[in-house]
Every structure is written in C-alpha cells, then in structure tokens.
Structure 1
Amino acid sequence: MNILIVHAHPESKSFTTALKDKAQCVFEEQGHSVEVSDLYAMNFNPIASQNDFANLNQPEYFNYALEQRHAYKQNSLAPDIQVEIEKIKRADLLIFSFPLYWTSVPAILKGWIDRVFVSGLFYGGKRFYNHGGMAGKKAMLCFTLGGRDYMFGENAIHGSIAEYLSPIQRGTLAYAGFEVLPPFIAYHVPYISNEDRQNILINFEAYLNDLQNLEPLTFPLIENFDEKMRPLP
C-alpha cells in the first residue's frame, strides 16, 4: 500500500509530529511505502492565486476553479501543485496530520487543499461522493487538540466533534470520493503528562495495526444522477 501523510505543524518536537513519525514507522515496518508532505518544512505556499497557472484561459474574469480545470487539462498547473497531485495519485491512503485550530485545520493545510484538490480531477461536473475523482482511495484524520474528551458530545460544552469535522471529512474528503476512515484524536495534549502521551502513541499504533478492520464513515451514495446535471467534461 502507498501512503501519503500531509503534515501541518511548525514544531518538529511537537506531539503532532510524534504521531506523524509513529504512523510512518508503523507503516514502513508493515512493508508499506510512505511519502510525507511536511508543509511547514516545505514552506508550502497556501495562497490560491493566478500564479498557480502558467496562463489564464479567461483573463478577463478570474474564476479559480475553472482555471484549475483548464490548467489540469493543459498540464499547466504550478509545479508545486503538480508534485502534490502526483503524490495523491500514487497513494492508496491519505492521512492529514495536524493540530485542531479554531475547530478546523491550520491555514497552511487549508491552502494545500484549496490549491491541490483541483477541479476537473478531484471534483467538478458529476464528480462527487462515490463518483468523486478519488473514488477507490481511503483517507483519515490524525489530529491533536487542547480540550478534554468529555467536553465533546451532543450535550457537552463544545458539542459534537463530528460537527467540527464535517467540513473536512464530508465536505472535502468524502466529497472528492475518498472512503473516510474514523479519525484518531489525541485530546488535551498540551496539558497531559509524558506518560499519558506515550500511552496515546501506543493506542495509535494499535489503531494503525487494525486499520483494515475499521468501518468507514457513512456518507451519501449517488445512485442515479439527475438528467439535468451537466455531464463530465
């Protein structure tokens, strides 16, 4: 299996990085091939702009998604975007490794998604959910946060963690066709003991070793398209 870990943490000694390193180690010991896109180490540019295209198809009015679609067809995307797309094409499993910031991913990871999940390949036309461009691939989240686990739930102070994750798990990964595995969440990380952190790493290793037995999250399946929908370009 080929695995791509997209890692978004600025500190190499962080526990988020320790989780990323653990995943890489476990997968390589299992004989899998692992690539890592360490976004901060790469100084990845998260800003979607006209600079992402060698030339514009419609210079009179800039529409980023339409320019993505045109540039992908013409093989004229910015080189850093194309490199990341090729990594995803090789991957059977995509893992996002990050700290939860304001109920979402860090800006550098959001920018990576904006620029790399290009229209015309990942989504667009009739490409969405089980018909998305990444159908047949798996994805999962591995992230850290400061809150305690009991703070999250239907009647808890912060509400359901699933609601926090819906934009990334449903609106991004599942929408693009990925089969989404349950996330691995490390709670209260900045405030726990080193022993507790080591226990989380042990639990994470067990989680990864049981990955093939995890039930994917459930999202809509598109059985019949509306005849009025535009066909795939």
Structure 2
Amino acid sequence: MPSKKVLIVYAHQSSGSFNAAAKDAAVEFLTAQGCTVEVSDLYAMKFKATATAEDIIGDVKNADHFRYAEETKLAWEGGNLCADIMEEQRKLTQADLIIFQFPMYWFTVPAIMKGWMDRVLTLGYAFTHEKRYSQGIFKDKKAMLSFTTGSQESMFSANGINGDMNVTLWPLQVLAPQIFWAPSHVPAEARGTMLEGWRTRMQGLLGENPLTFTPSDCFDGKTGYQLKPEVHAKHAGKEFGLTVGIHLGKALPPNNQMKAGV
C-alpha cells in the first residue's frame, strides 16, 4: 500500500473508547505500511452537523425557497462553500481509501457523521444526476465502515430482534464492513483479539474487491431507473434476487452486504 492516501472520518466523543482504539490502530498500521493517513476527528473539530444556508459564503440564488443541493452546487462551482466543507472535500479528493469509524447509533451513523456526509458530499462535487453509483465521480475510490454495535451479533441476524444487518447496511457501503460486535460487553482480551483481526485485515484492505452492486447500466432511466426487462428476465429463475436492495421480490441474498464481492 505504499504512497496510498487514507482518510479516516472518526466520530466518538472519548479518547478512551474502543472506537478510538480502532482508529489509532488503523493510523499506526497504515502509516507503517507507507500510507499517508489523515483523520477528521469530528467531535474534536466541533464539526457542524446541520446542512443550512450558512454553508454558503455570500448570497444564494433563491433565499425565499432555499434548496440545499442546488445552492451548494452553485457555491461549489463558484468557490463559495464555507471553509470546513472545502477542507473536507480536499481531504476526500486526495484519498484513495476512506474509513468511517464510529459507534452505530439507532442503526446508522451518529448525527455528526451524517452531517459530514450531507454537507461534504455536495451535488456537483460528489455526484451529478448523470454520474452516480458505478458511474459516479468517486468510482475509483474505496470506502468502508468500521464500527461498533451495542447489541450482540445474534441480535442482528435474519431471525434476530434487530433484523438482518445486511439490510441495515444496504445503502451505505463499498467495501465489506469491519464490525466490532458489542465490545463493551466482552472481556478486555476479546477486545484485543478484535483489534488484532482489524490489523490483519488492513494488510490487504486496498486490494479487496468491493461488495457486489448492480451496475448502473442495468437500469433504464426512461422508466424511472427500473431494472431493464432483459436483466429482470435473466434472474427470474434464480433463488435469490440481485442484492439486498434489489431483490426482485425473492429471498434476500445471504450476507450480501457483509462479504466482499467476487
């Protein structure tokens, strides 16, 4: 992984947390492997989570009917986004790999991290209506979630009370996730084993295949981006649908959001 650049977007309030330990392990290991690592410590930065007109320097096009996506696109094109957004966009542009390190709150990322996504991934900069998903602007970058849960792994199973983790993670990922299951409920020795597993995985992280997603050209923009009839027909006789999110009314593919693509 020499000369690769890594951005860790980190969201935890405590330097004594397991998330902090996982973040520190990633910085130490990836730096030792020759990577350049930057960390956006969102709580330490007091990063603003709300997407508002304050994110734009100067006047907006339509103050009476403010539309964040369109206004920030214009501001990005004119170099008029506020400084914290522009700095995070700089880091993201330079990164080959982005790791989101966080505790799962209510089945998703913490609010401050969701605010990072809302504010930094602006229309025009991160995507356009024509360039998204497999044809997107960041198609050559890799990103992954590394997070802790408060519940045991069994509770996030297909039969568990929290529901299938594959479904929970469906819209968020590129690489398979690194999940630390309920570290606050296991002995220190087990937490150490978790971190060793994380270090082992990082040895080949940038060479991992992404998760399996249905390519954009399988959908017809003229019909509201529905699967093309020939693609649907091709999978009609198969046991499982294409992916967790696009399952064709069939049983959900097992571990579709948990294991690297093939």
Task: Specify if TM > 0.5.
Answer: yes
Residue 13 of structure 2 corresponds to residue 22 of structure 1: no
- Partner amino acid, structure 1, of 2:199: E
Q: Deviation per CA, 1:18-69, whole angstroms, max 9, x where unpaired? A: 0000001110010000000000011111111010001202223100000111
Match of 1:5, SS?
strand
Contact 1:148 1:187 in 2 (8 A): yes
Counterpart secondary structure, 1:41: helix
Which of 155, 158, 161 lines up with 1:157 in the alignment?
161
Task: Look up the equivalent residue of 1:217 and give its one-letter code.
Answer: L
Give 1:175's aligned residue: none
Q: Secondary structure at the match of 2:200?
A: helix
Q: Residues of 1 paired with 2:124 and 2:90: CA distance?
A: 15
Matches of 2:136 and 2:10, distance apart in 1 = 23
Q: Contact (CA 8 Å) 1:123, 1:133: kept in 2 or not?
A: yes
In the alignment, structure 1 residue 37 sits paired with structure 2 residue 31: no
**Does structure 1 retain, via aligned residues, the 8 Å contact 2:97–2:206?**
no
Distance 1:215 1:111, change over 3 A: same
Whether contact under 8 Å (1:186, 1:200) holds in the other structure is yes
Query: What's the CA shift for 1:227?
Result: 7.1
2:3 pairs with 1:3 = no
What is residue 119 of structure 2 aligned with on the other side? Answer: 115
Please list the CA deviations of residues 157-207 of structure 1 after superposition, one character each: whole Å capped at 9, or x if unmatched. 2221111112322xxxxxxxxxx1110000011111111110101011011
SS of 1:185's equivalent in the other structure is strand
AA in 2 matched with 1:203? G
User: Is residue 2:201 matched to residue 1:198?
Assistant: no
Structure 2 length normalisation: TM-score? Answer: 0.80
Matches within 5 A, 1:1-233: 1-54=4-57, 55-169=59-173, 180-223=174-217
Aligned mates of 1:182, 1:217 — CA distance in 2: 6
Change (3 A) 1:144 1:225: closer
Deviation at 1:226, TM superposition (A): 5.2
AA at the equivalent of 2:47 = F
Which amino acid in the other structure matches residue 200 of structure 1?
A: M
CA distance in 2 between counterparts of 1:35 and 1:212 reads 16
2-side partners of 1:144 and 1:86: how far apart? 28
Query: Do the aligned partners of 1:129 and 1:220 also contact (CA within 8 Å) in 2?
Result: no
Compare 15-24 and 148-157 and name the one that shifted more.
148-157
Q: Secondary structure at the match of 1:105?
A: coil
CA contact (8 A) 2:26 2:199 kept: yes
Q: Distance in 2 between matches of 1:223 and 1:149?
A: 35
Moved more, 121-130 or 24-33: 121-130
Unaligned 5+ residue runs, structure 2?
A: 224-262
Partner SS, residue 172 of structure 2: helix
More displaced stretch, 20-29 vs 210-219: 210-219
In 2: Cα distance, 1:213 partner to 1:74 partner: 36
Once the two structures are superposed, what CA deviation does each residue of 1:117-150 show, in whole Å capped at 9, x if it has no partner?
A: 0011212221211111211000000000121112
Mapped partners of 1:161, 1:227: distance in 2: 30
User: How high is the TM-score relative to the length of structure 1?
Assistant: 0.89
1:72-106 Cα distance to aligned partner (Å, 9 max, x none): 11010011000000000000001100000010100
- Larger CA Rg, structure 1 vs 2: 2
Q: Would the aligned equivalents of 2:10 and 2:39 in 1 still touch at CA under 8 Å?
A: yes
